[in-house]
Structure 1
Amino acid sequence: MMDAIQIYAIAAGGTLCIFAFVNLLPLLIPLVTRVSIFVSKHFRYPYILHRHRILGPWTRAGVVIQLAYLALNLFCVFAVPSGDGLKAANFSDAGRRAGALAEVNMIPLLAGPHFAFLADLLGLSLKTIRGIHRSAGWMTAALVFLHAMAAASDGPLPIDVSQNLFAVIGASLLCLLLVLLFPPFRKLSYELFLRSHQALAWGSVYAVWRHVPSDKSSPRAYIYITMGIFAATYLLQTGAVIVRNGVFRHQLSRATITHDSGAVKMQLRLSKPLTMDAGQYINLWIPSVSFWSFLQTHPFTVISWDAKDQDRLDLLIEPRRGLTREMLYHAEKGYTINPLVMFSGPHGGTLSMGEYESVLMVASGFGIAAFLPHLKKLIYGYNTRAVRTRRIHLVWQIKNEADGLIVQEPLNIALEEDKLDDGCILSISVYVETKSSPKKPFGERATMYPGPAPLPEIFLAELSGNNIKVHAAEVGAEGQKSLEQSESTSSTLQGDVESGSRWTVAGDGRMLVAVSGSEVIRDDLRAVVRKYIRMGVRFVELDYQPK
């Protein structure tokens, strides 16, 4: 037990450390910023393995993390503590340790009934949660394989013993689960694949529970922890759905389903107002669309936004297969009128685009849906002087002119709302891949160009800062000097970057490049932006990415 002198020494030393930390904090922030830029440029953005039908893309940072994860698991399997330090485990002991470690790796696999809710709970992106699930799944399978090899090397396993029988059953279920992961099985029917995946996973858990000896509490404790975490997150998610939908206090929400230019448009009339930030999405359940739809929930990006709570949510849905194709069919035939719906959400993090002076939005196809709420929020923030943004350029790549009709009306509304001080902070460029005629107007103040979008040229033009709108009242002596510098250096921007110049965007402003587009567009933009990270540019892939 500590005496008064020890407590005094710890308190005095801790106080001095706090003062020193606060004093050194201004010096640490630039260091952290430089380290972050270095990591982004050399690890987060570059690919080691590019996209492939089965593998990729793998960034350098991703490979380093996976290797560290693999090394940690190998150390836990083969390194055994002893009185003299660490020693290598024999193959039989390593197999037993691999079995226990496989149970530990199963915990994140079954941490929740839905990825979206788990991502919100942990404050991670949906892409990160899926990556963790994928890595933990393959690691669990590898450890189970090692455990089975070690058990087989110890001698025959009589099947008439219950523990051995369920070991074989569990291994068989796991092998079937891995086989169904291959793309041909997933594309056949994703809903059927998902339910089969979940059923096989829980079947494997039950087989492991029966395989583990009942007289050993430690291995079974991992299974009880897994089930306890799943039950807790399931109850939390169920409670959130009940509260959000007002199940016991209000009537359930209703939907109006229409179609336009091959797209499904849906408006939800909510039973109670909902706070929804730009870029967030909901998981929707519509039991009356098809026979199996009562077993399905699908994520959809909300394209409406309001500064206040919303009692109506607008969705723009791309018909693919399964439920979305059924929704288009019902909308065209008028079969489903005013159906009951339930939803979970809002899901997804918030992206503060208003912190950036210049925002370049790049979309292809239905990726435009992810940017519509951001446009509304940014223009509202500009009109109310609540954001820093002074330039928005939306670049939309489509296959033919007919695709542009889907959102021409909301884009024109956004342009009309861009009216403070004569507006014009928003510029919209539409590029048609199959079009060869000269450019022409696309609605109000938007332009349609032929061919694919020249993304590097567009990015450099925005990076120069020449298109950023600055009010006369905001331009003092320093501001005028900054603008003159921007104009004089824009033509030599490429050379400045290659020589390592620290010239920044329009007077130390920051630029955001956000993309919701095809894999080719995302990879091309990533490669371009990587060279300009030191100039205050940030690259973001939104949650929704069109196929």
Structure 2
Amino acid sequence: MDLLFTYIVPLASVTALFICWRLWALMSITTKSKIAFFIRKVLVYTVVIRRRSTSSDTTTYGALNILLFLTANLTACLFKLSDIRHLAERCGMLLMINLVPLFLGGRTNLFIDRILRLSLDDYTLMHRWLGRVCVLLGLVHGIVNSVTSSSSTSETILLSILASLGVLSFIYIRRLKYEVFIKTHLMLALVLIGFLWFHVCFYKSKAVICLGIATGLWSLQHIVWFARLIYRNPTPSTSNVAFRHHQGPAQAAELTIQLEKPWDVSPGQYVYLTFPSLARNRAGFIQTHPYVVAWVDGSDITVLIQRLKGFSDALFASKGSRYRTVVDGPYGSYQSVENYDKVLFMASGIGIAAHLLAIKHLLASHNDCKARVRRITLVWFLETTEQEMWAQGFLDKLIETDDRDIFTSATFTPGVIANGDSVARYTYDINGASSIRRRHIRTNKPLDVSWYIEQESKLEAGNMICVDLQDSKKLSGMV
């Protein structure tokens, strides 16, 4: 029976894949586009679990992957289970297997970023659920063995490490001191893998192979990461970092870094920055913080930093104008929107930083006749009127490069605007200034976002994509 089942399942799978492939080949381009649109809308973009800040939202696709992963592990644990000892053995073996993808690395993972092309949110979600399942499997394995037989000192230590990893990973705990959590998490993971080598019996070849692969992947990833870090920062003491503060209730700064080893910066890329000389908790040299690249000019990259609690607050409080820095990156990849006729960018507050370079890239591609886009629109919701100064210089540069007048923007401000409900932000003394005013406005009127998107889609013929980067709670208050 088992042999027959082993034959039928692969045969049925291959046959189903062949039928689907042939049906897809027979479909028209319009039908394929509609199916692809439906799949993206339902699976990729529909959020089923909206999380709090510092945690990732879960889409339908992500939820299905989590459900499939949990079902597979649960089935592997309980299918044809003979006794409780058998359960402990299975949980231990599954722990070894799940350690392989878990130990691919953390947030600075080159394999995930460059080869698999997973976004940081997707990988973080995968990493967290892999970790939770590994902790649960390890605890079940250790507790059952302790109940059915005498436990050794190494087993007790392993149970303590697993319990510590599980407790410290709760969102309410890791949010309190995230930087402390990151370093503690790494140290506990290394201690865990070290004790597992002493715990695993070497005659259990499958467990040793899995543990060896996990250790090798983690080591290789960090060797490559460290080599690239040294290559990008041969002499960190000579890196030039300049601050330009924007004062007001909502403070921000432009941080410009002169790269010693420049790279071709793509929109959407981000870097991790370390300031060794920043004496924050006496540990500035081991703290890394991610920032999206907002602008690039030759070998200089610029990031926008909003003053919040923690690291950014210490950075502003230091009142320095130049710092030594270590740049780790780039990470992330460009999600091309050049094949759309209309592109609508929406952002609130500091979210504008993620759109500036993308708009610059689209304008350059359009001027060089390399992009299909014929209309670029930016909608920016301000939380305070002072935030407009954060990106005004960059927006001025975008308008100057807009040779064919395809870029429009609307800034929605809170409160009352002194010169009326709707006035031009730009007052250049050039020909066609009235046209610029019509295309770039600021207003304090409320906006129905759904209506605005619908109106944008009707302005010109062609397909349109909306690139959204904003806080849904803040956005709902604007509607």
**Which bracket does the TM-score occupy, shorter chain normalised?**
0.7 to 0.9
Q: Counterpart in 2 of 1:70?
A: 70
Q: Distance in 2 between matches of 1:133 and 1:279?
A: 22
Asked whether the 8 Å contact 1:287–1:341 carries over to 2, the reply is yes
Answer with 51-60 or 455-464: which moved more.
Answer: 51-60
Asked whether the 8 Å contact 2:257–2:302 carries over to 1, the reply is yes
Q: Distance in 1 between matches of 2:24 and 2:210?
A: 43
Residues 502-546 of structure 1, C-alpha deviations (whole Å, 9 max, x = no match): xxxx1xx22111111113368999xx9xxxxxxxxxxxxxxxxxx
Q: Counterpart in 2 of 1:448?
A: 442
- 1:293 pairs with 2:284: yes
Q: 1:371-382 maps to which residues of 2 (within 5 A)?
A: 371-382=355-366
Q: Counterpart in 1 of 2:60?
A: 60
Residues 437-485 of structure 1, C-alpha deviations (whole Å, 9 max, x = no match): 6222223532222154321111001111x2x4xxxxxxxxxxxxxxxxx
Structure 1 residues 228 and 319, CA gap change in structure 2 (3 angstroms): same
Structure 1 residues 116 and 518, CA gap change in structure 2 (3 angstroms): farther
Name the SS for the 1:429 alignment partner.
strand
Q: Counterpart in 2 of 1:40?
A: 40
Asked whether the 8 Å contact 1:48–1:59 carries over to 2, the reply is yes
Asked whether the 8 Å contact 2:269–2:292 carries over to 1, the reply is yes
Structure 2: unaligned runs, 5 residues or longer: 1-17, 428-436
| Deviation of the 1:363 alpha carbon | 0.3
- Which of these residues, 94, 108, 120, is aligned with residue 115 of structure 1? 108
Identity rate, percent: 26
Asked whether the 8 Å contact 1:254–1:340 carries over to 2, the reply is yes
- 1:92 pairs with 2:71: no
Q: Counterpart in 1 of 2:180?
A: 192
Q: Distance in 1 between matches of 2:307 and 2:75?
A: 48
Answer with 70-79 or 42-51: which moved more.
Answer: 42-51
Asked whether the 8 Å contact 2:107–2:124 carries over to 1, the reply is no
Q: Distance in 1 between matches of 2:55 and 2:23?
A: 48
Asked whether the 8 Å contact 1:252–1:342 carries over to 2, the reply is no
Structure 1 residues 413 and 511, CA gap change in structure 2 (3 angstroms): same
Q: Distance in 2 between matches of 1:270 and 1:282?
A: 12
| Deviation of the 1:26 alpha carbon | 6.3
Asked whether the 8 Å contact 2:269–2:330 carries over to 1, the reply is yes
| Deviation of the 1:244 alpha carbon | 2.8
Asked whether the 8 Å contact 1:96–1:147 carries over to 2, the reply is yes
- Which of these residues, 380, 384, 394, is aligned with residue 410 of structure 1? 394
Residues 116-168 of structure 1, C-alpha deviations (whole Å, 9 max, x = no match): 5343232211111111101101111221232234324424x24xxxxx21212
Structure 1 residues 300 and 46, CA gap change in structure 2 (3 angstroms): closer
Q: Counterpart in 1 of 2:300?
A: 312
Q: Distance in 1 between matches of 2:349 and 2:63?
A: 31
Answer with 360-369 or 314-323: which moved more.
Answer: 314-323
Q: Distance in 1 between matches of 2:364 and 2:399?
A: 12
Q: Distance in 2 between matches of 1:185 and 1:516?
A: 27
Name the SS for the 1:355 alignment partner.
coil
Residues 181-236 of structure 1, C-alpha deviations (whole Å, 9 max, x = no match): 23443233221111111112222222322222244333233222111111111111
- Which of these residues, 245, 269, 272, is aligned with residue 261 of structure 2? 272
Question: Which has more radius of gyration?
Answer: 1
Q: Distance in 2 between matches of 1:524 and 1:105?
A: 43
Q: Distance in 2 between matches of 1:395 and 1:435?
A: 18
Q: Distance in 2 between matches of 1:264 and 1:197?
A: 31
| Deviation of the 1:55 alpha carbon | 8.5
Asked whether the 8 Å contact 1:431–1:450 carries over to 2, the reply is yes
Residues 292-311 of structure 1, C-alpha deviations (whole Å, 9 max, x = no match): 110012111111246xxx31
Q: Distance in 1 between matches of 2:104 and 2:261?
A: 30
The count of aligned residue pairs is: 441
Q: Distance in 1 between matches of 2:83 and 2:342?
A: 60
- 1:515 pairs with 2:465: no
Name the SS for the 1:385 alignment partner.
coil
Q: Counterpart in 2 of 1:208?
A: 196
Q: Counterpart in 2 of 1:224?
A: 212
Q: Which amino acid aligns with 2:293?
A: V
- Provide TM-score, normalisation by structure 1: 0.74
- Which of these residues, 453, 462, 465, is aligned with residue 459 of structure 1? 453
Name the SS for the 1:407 alignment partner.
helix
Q: Counterpart in 2 of 1:130?
A: 124
RMSD value, Cα: 2.9
Q: Counterpart in 1 of 2:159?
A: 171
- Provide TM-score, normalisation by structure 2: 0.84
Q: Distance in 2 between matches of 1:24 and 1:286?
A: 52
Q: 1:234-245 maps to which residues of 2 (within 5 A)?
A: 234-245=222-233
Q: Distance in 1 between matches of 2:327 and 2:197?
A: 34
